[in-house]
Amino acid sequence: MFKKIAFAAALAILSTSSFAAENPSIYAGVDVGSTKVDGFSDRETSFGGFIGYQFHQNMAVELGYRSLADFDTVVAGSKVGVKLNQSAVSFIGTLPLSSGFNVFGRLGYNHIEAKGSVSGFSASESDNGALYGVGVGYAFNAKVSARVEIQKPSSDASNVSIGVSYKF
């Protein structure tokens, strides 16, 4: 009798630890998109990378870096170059739907650095603040997924991106 109880307990412990090891996962990915900055007529191509830790089926923490924009404009007859880069940490909540689809929301904190140059002179300025976004994702399989997202990294900029990620 003792052997049966010990076997059942060992089996329960092993299956529980196996389940716990499968759920949390580290993932990484890349995205490309389009950024619109208030006051500029053109949209700029953005690209970035991210790494996250999904600690629950519906929750993750993510670190990201994105080149939001790199554009040139003319101000008072002089060519001005501007680069915007974003570093962020976010909490992501996911709602699984059917057939591999999900919707998600992002709430985080980001640091945006703006670098400008004109006639050999350059300057930079940074801003810290809230970041939020919403998106739709699709899991091709247990490891590879894609997402489309709209982000608002600052009060005067918005970004739409498409990305792919891989779970380790």
pLDDT in tens, 65-82: 999 988 887 878 888 888
| 43 burial via Cβ count (<10 Å: 0-12, 13-18, 19+) | middle
Give tens-digit pLDDT for 84-134. Answer: 999 999 999 999 998 999 999 999 999 999 998 988 888 999 999 999 999
Q: Find the helix or strand (DSSP H, E) in which 79 lies.
A: strand 78-96
| Distance from C-alpha of 160 to C-alpha of 153, rounded to nearest angstrom | 11
Q: Largest alpha-carbon pair distance within the chain?
A: 91
Average pLDDT, rounded, for the chain? 87
Instruction: Classify 6 as helix, strand or coil.
Output: helix
CATH fold of the domain at 24-167: Porin (2.40.160)
Whether residue 17 has pLDDT greater than 80 = no
Domain coordinates in residue numbering, the chain: 24-167
Tokens of 74: 């003319």
